[in-house]
Amino acid sequence: MIKICECCGKEYVSTQRGKAGERQRFCSYKCRGKFIPAWNKNSMGLMPIPWNKGSVGIMKSNSGSFEDGHISWNKNKKCPEISGLDNPNYIDGRWSNFIYINKYNKIWKETHKKEIQNYNKQYRKTLTGKIVLDRKRHTRRKLGFNPLNNPFPNSNAHHINFDDVIYIPQEYNKISHNIWTGKNMEIVNVYAYFFLMMQNIDKFGEL
């Protein structure tokens, strides 16, 4: 079926069959995209030129336009009545949004105690949770916490010095010792180093 394109005016053979071919109005998708109905076009079959074409970054002058060198009316101006400590949102040494957040957190903790307890129990059983808990406990004793191995079931964190820690079985840690006085530290450290060496051999194989 030979038809005339309503956009470019050229003859074309319809690519559709039957009623679809009868309804086809354009020779290509390109013409279909360019075409504008008669009630909305300023020239035959051509898209109208946008009113702002080529005016990127250019603003037409009007009563609210900024001119070169224009300075905002509030530049370098302050309002001491509502600035700093006199701001109405600054209450008792804190900003009101922090006060609101703290109040919300307190209410949430009071109404979700069981959920918090269950979460803490599960977290302490994880590898990260056990290390974090041990680090807090030893920080209170003013000791560093640099674990040289990972915790395992029925293990205790033993300080071989004021910073480094080796996780050893509980039976090794039953020997009375004191890092501050040095009591039995050499004995427990020998067990700790030996256990760490055996762990590395089991992990990486014999050297």
* Residues 26/7, Cβ–Cβ less than 8 Å: yes
* Residues 156/137, Cβ–Cβ less than 8 Å: no
pLDDT greater at residue 27 or residue 137: 27
CB-based burial label for 165 (10 Å; 0-12, 13-18, 19+)? buried
3-state secondary structure of 156: strand
CB atoms within 10 A of CB 131: 17
Residues 111 and 136 in one domain: no
3-state secondary structure of 113: helix
Mean pLDDT of the chain: 77
Interval 166-177: pLDDT, tens: 999 888 878 888
The one-letter amino acid at 9: G
Interval 55-99: pLDDT, tens: 655 555 555 555 666 777 777 777 777 776 677 777 766 667 777
pLDDT at residue 166, as a whole number: 92
* Residues 145/139, Cβ–Cβ less than 8 Å: yes
Residues 116 and 133 in one domain: no
- What are 120's two structure tokens? 């803490």
Report d(CA 108, CA 22) in Å as an integer.
Answer: 68
Residue with tokens 């820690």: 165
The one-letter amino acid at 129: G
Segments forming the whole domain that contains residue 13:
2-40
Counting the structural domains of the chain, the total is: 3
Residues 141 and 184 in one domain: yes
Residues 131 and 200 in one domain: yes
Residue 45 lies in a domain: no
pLDDT tier at 199, thresholds 50, 70, 90: confident
